[in-house]
Amino acid sequence: MSAGEPRFEARPAGPLGEGWSVHVFWTAEETSLVTGFSNQYDALDWIKLKSANWVADYIMRGSKY
C-alpha cells in the first residue's frame, strides 16, 4: 500500500454502542482516525462520498500520516 492510497475501514467506536469511526491505514505503521459517525451506514457513506476529499485536504495541510 502506498502513502497516496490509504485503505479505509468502518468500525464500531467502542464496545457499548458509542457510534462508529473510520480507520485510515496509510501504511502498516501509520494510521488516522475519523470519528463521530452515529451508525455503520454513515461511516460507509463517508468513505464512499467524502474520503477522497478528506485525503486531499489532509495531505495539503501537511499532516503527517
Specify whether the CB–CB gap between 22 and 2 falls below 8 A.
no
Considering the domain boundaries, does residue 19 fall inside one? yes
Contact 8, 24 (CB under 8 A): yes
The total domain count for the chain is 1
Q: How far apart are CA 65 and CA 1, in angstroms?
A: 13
Let me know if residue 65 belongs to a domain. no
User: Does residue 21 form part of some domain?
Assistant: yes
2, part of any domain: no
pLDDT in tens, 1-47: 454 589 999 999 988 878 999 999 998 888 999 999 999 999 999 99
Q: Which domain holds residue 30?
A: 7-60
Residue 29 placed within a domain: yes
Q: Is the pTM of this model over 0.85?
A: no
